Amino acid sequence: MNLRLDDDRSDRLREEAEAENRSMQQVVVTAIDDYLERKQTERVRALGAAFAARHATLLERLADS
């Protein structure tokens, strides 16, 4: 995979990597991992909310018992 960045992004990424004493690749991989984790968490929360809405009556009865 090739990642093409405009000059401004490339400069900012290089500066951040240098400030963290890491390679640009390490910073990018960490950013991708964080993004994927956030997206997965959002999907799980959406599924949970949909389940709760669909089964609200059952959940209320279980809470009362």
pLDDT, residue 58, reads 87
- Which residue numbers in the chain have pLDDT < 50? none
- In the chain, domain spans: 7-64
pLDDT, residue 59, reads 86
- Does residue 15 contact residue 27 with C-beta atoms inside 8 Å? no
In whole angstroms, how far apart are CA 6 and each of 3, 9, 31, 34, 60?
A: 10, 6, 17, 22, 53
